[in-house]
Amino acid sequence: MKLAALGEVMVELAPQAAAQAGEQGKALLRQSYAGDTYNTAVYIARHGVSVSYVTLLGDDPYSEEVLTRLGDEGIDTSAIARLSGRCPGLYMIQNTPDGERYFTYWRGEAPARELFADPQRREVLKAHLRQMDCLYLSGITLAIMAADARAELLDFLKEYRAAGGRVAFDSNYRPRLWRSVGDAREVVATFMSVTDMALLTFEDEQALWGDDVVDQCVQRNSDHGLSELVIKRGAEPVLLHCEGQQAEVDVPAVAQVVDTTGAGDSFNAGYLAARLQGASPVESIASGNRCAAQVIGYRGAIIPQAEFVAGAQPVAC
C-alpha cells in the first residue's frame, strides 16, 4: 500500500518552554518543520507505510533541509518540484499553560501555493499519483491553491477514484486562508463529494458550518456518499459512521498534555496507516488515538524519531 499526501510544509518556530504570564513570545524558540499534511505523512511513514509527499519548495537552505528530513523519514520526495528564488512559509506557535496552541503565519508567497497550477508539472504529478492506493489532502491544501488548479485537482480525483483509488480528507478549517466562509464551504463541500474517508475535527466543522451539536455534522456529511466518517473531538470519544454502522471510541487519558499542535494530523496518520495495513475502522481509531497521545506529550508538531513508537499505548493519568 502506498499513500501520497499533498500540501504545504513550513518552517516552524516553537517555544522551548511555556512562556511565563506576561512574557508571551519571549520564550526561546526551537526551529523545525511542519504543516498539516506533512505531519500526517511523517507519522504514517513511522508506522511503516510507504508515503510520498507532494508539494513545491524553493531553492533555499530551508527547502533543502525539508528534503533531507523527508528522506530521513523514508518518505518519497520524487514528486516535489523546486521553484528558484523561493522559500517555504513560516509559522510560530504560542502555547497556553494547559497545552492549547495559537499560530501566527507568514506563508503568503510559499511555493506550495502553486500546487497543480503548471500544466506540464501537473501531468507529471498525475502520473505519479495514479500509482498510489490512497491520496490524502486537507482543507489547507485546498485553501492555498489557486481556483483553476483546484478545479484541475477535482477532475483528477474523480478520475482517480473511478480507477479504484481512495481519497482521505480532513477539512482543517483555517479562516484566514480563505477569502470568505462561503468560499470555504463551497470548496470543502465539493471535495467531500470526491472523498472516501473523511477525518474531521468537530471544532473545525463548528467554525466552518456553525454546528451546535455533533449530529448536525453527521447529518450534513452523510449526504456525501463517504465510506468512512470519523469525527475527532479532543479528549472526547471519537465518532465513527461507516456504511450504516456507528461507534464511539474512547480517547485514553494522557498524563501530561504539553502541546496539542499536530494532534489531529497525527491521529489521521495512526488511522490511515492502520486502515492501509488492513485494520478495521474501530481498530484504526484506536491507532489514531495512540499516535496523537504521543505527539501531544511533546512541544511542536513532529516529535523526535527516536522517541516515537508506532502502536505505543499512552501513559495513563
Catalytic residues: 265
Amino acid identity of residue 236, one-letter, is E
- The window from 20-28, 48-56, 182-190, 232-240 that contacts ligand ADP (CB under 6 A) reads 232-240
- The binder of ligand ADP chosen from 52, 95, 195, 201 (CB under 6 A): 201
Instruction: Please report whether residue 232 would count as binding ligand ADP according to CB under 6 A.
Output: yes
Is 254 a binding residue for ligand ADP by CB under 6 A? The answer is yes
The dihedral formed by the CA atoms of 277, 280, 286 and 288, expressed in degrees to the nearest 10:
50
* H helical segments located in the chain: 36-46, 61-72, 119-129, 139-144, 147-162, 181-192, 202-209, 214-221, 263-276, 281-295
Q: Count other C-beta atoms under 10 Å from residue 98's C-beta.
A: 9
273 binds ligand ADP (CB under 6 A): no
For residue 141, the minimal CB distance to ligand ADP (Å) is: 15
Exposure letters 263-281 (e unless 16+ CB within 10 A, then b) = bbbbbbbbbbbbbbeebeb
**How many CA within 13 A on the CB side of residue 200?**
30
Please, what is the minimum distance in Å from the beta carbon of residue 200 to ligand ADP? 9
Choice between 122 and 233, CB closer to ligand ADP: 233
- Using CB under 6 A as the binding criterion, the count of chain residues that bind ligand ADP stands at 18
Any contact of residue 233 with ligand ADP (CB under 6 A)?
yes
Query: How far apart (Å, rounded) are the C-alpha atoms in residues 179 and 6?
Result: 21
Which 3 state secondary structure label does DSSP give 285? helix
Rule CB under 6 A: say whether 235 interacts with ligand ADP. Answer: yes
Q: How far is the CB of 232 from ligand ADP (least distance, A)?
A: 4
Contact range with ligand ADP by CB under 6 A, out of 58-66, 123-131, 156-164, 258-266: 258-266
Provide the binding-site residues for ligand ADP, judged by CB under 6 A.
201, 203, 232-235, 238, 251, 254, 257, 260, 263-264, 267, 289, 292-293, 296
